[in-house]
């Protein structure tokens, strides 16, 4: 009982950091937007009595959008992951083989925060590319020609990033499902006969690397133009005069918001990451069933180890994905120190029943032998 309680407590504790970051980050983001848009009139999305300012409108939209993001995950995450699985199978079938790698199941709060980073950078970078369109949508009747406050610029970037968050999650959520399932592609054995290094990569990681590469490249470029070049460097080049203290203040504020904006968006993505953790076992079984139909088999995790002498190296770590694989394929697990064997349930049950039937007969024979030995001799 104590072991099970400690496991449950540890399972709950890992959500502490993401939950704290979500609450604090969302609160600060709403305060930032409200302070920057306090003089902007409300839009027509909500009645004037409920929405006195644009900041209130945006806060209401953020509250409504969170359940919509959950619904987006429930509807699209697994189906899009299935499509990615089929496309990967077709594209890489000539040189690569698709299999299921046995991976661990530990995934703490730090890993959840890191998982939310790529969608956040993607959202911020994309919003900066379309900042002119977003400006027209959010402030259709507001004169922003004289608006040079760095707080306003940062708030505009944050609001635009939140608009792109559902699009970013639609692209990244299927990669989470595939990575959690442990579906990988690796070079076929005949390709390894060539002078070529082994190449094993998760199917979800393959897509996430392409999206994350775009985000890592676009984010610093777009933030430099939106936070430094347009509001500060370009006016100076056109003849505007700023005091040194004002240049330092504007540059510092721009640097703080360039670093801080992704954290605000990450805090809004984290609830979806936590939802994925709650749905992980169910979605993994569904993906593994499909991968098995596509010919995927269970493989051992690669191990890099110094070669001292030619011998076989067995992976004796605790197997985690095997349990979900067995649930997907309706098989039972037989574990040994040297290998993992997965056998159909009916065969395993038949063997156990035969053993149980033979045990009583064996005991009777032993008891009869003992009785004959213990009988006293007649005088």
Rounded average pLDDT per 10-residue block, the chain, 379 residues = 58 86 88 73 53 65 86 94 92 89 84 93 89 71 54 75 90 93 88 80 88 89 84 84 82 82 91 92 89 85 62 49 72 56 57 49 49 49
Report domain extents, the chain.
Answer: 65-299, 333-367
pLDDT at 350: 52
* Burial of 4 per CB tally in 10 Å (0-12, 13-18, 19+): exposed
pLDDT at 167: 92
pLDDT at 240: 82
pLDDT at 366: 46
pLDDT at 245: 84
According to DSSP H, which parts of the chain are helical?
Answer: 2-13, 16-36, 54-91, 109-129, 131-138, 150-181, 203-224, 234-237, 244-278, 280-293, 321-329, 345-374
pLDDT at 32: 79
pLDDT at 248: 85
- Mean per-residue pLDDT over the chain, rounded: 77
**Unique residue bearing structure tokens 């169910």:** 282
């Amino acid at each position: 009982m104590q072991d099970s309680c400690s496991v449950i407590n540890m399972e709950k504790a890992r959500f502490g950091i993401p939950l704290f970051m979500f609450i604090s980050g969302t609160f600060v983001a709403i305060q930032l937007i409200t302070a920057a848009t306090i003089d902007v009139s409300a839009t027509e999305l909500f009645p004037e009595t409920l929405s006195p300012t644009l900041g209130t409108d945006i806060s209401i939209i953020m509250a409504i959008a969170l359940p919509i993001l959950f619904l987006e995950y429930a509807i699209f995450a697994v189906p899009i992951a299935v499509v990615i699985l089929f496309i990967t199978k077709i594209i890489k079938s000539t040189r690569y083989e698709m299999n299921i790698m046995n991976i661990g199941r530990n995934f703490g709060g730090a890993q959840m925060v890191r998982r939310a980073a790529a969608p956040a950078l993607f959202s911020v970078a994309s919003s900066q590319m379309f900042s002119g369109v977003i400006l027209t949508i959010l402030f259709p009747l507001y004169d922003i020609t004289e608006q040079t406050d760095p707080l306003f610029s940062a708030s505009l970037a944050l609001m635009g990033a939140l608009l792109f968050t559902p699009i970013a999650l639609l692209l990244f959520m299927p990669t989470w499902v595939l990575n959690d399932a442990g579906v990988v592609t690796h070079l076929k054995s005949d390709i390894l006969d060539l002078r070529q290094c082994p190449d094993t990569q998760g199917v979800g990681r393959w897509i996430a690397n392409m999206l994350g590469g775009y985000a890592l490249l676009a984010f610093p470029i777009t933030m430099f133009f939106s936070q430094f070049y347009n509001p500060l460097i370009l006016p100076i080049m056109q003849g505007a005069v700023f005091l040194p203290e004002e240049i330092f203040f504007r540059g510092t504020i721009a640097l703080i918001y360039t670093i801080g904006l992704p954290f605000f968006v990450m805090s809004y993505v984290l609830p979806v990451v936590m939802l994925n953790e709650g749905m992980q076992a169910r979605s993994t079984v569904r993906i593994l069933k499909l991968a098995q139909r596509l010919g995927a088999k269970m493989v051992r995790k690669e191990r890099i180890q110094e070669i001292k002498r030619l011998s076989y190296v067995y992976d004796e770590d605790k197997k985690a994905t095997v349990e979900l694989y067995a649930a997907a394929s309706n098989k039972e697990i037989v574990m040994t120190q040297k290998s993992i064997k997965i056998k159909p349930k009916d065969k395993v049950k038949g063997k156990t029943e035969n053993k149980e039937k033979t045990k009583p007969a064996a005991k009777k024979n032993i008891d009869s032998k003992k009785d004959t030995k213990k009988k006293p001799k007649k005088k």
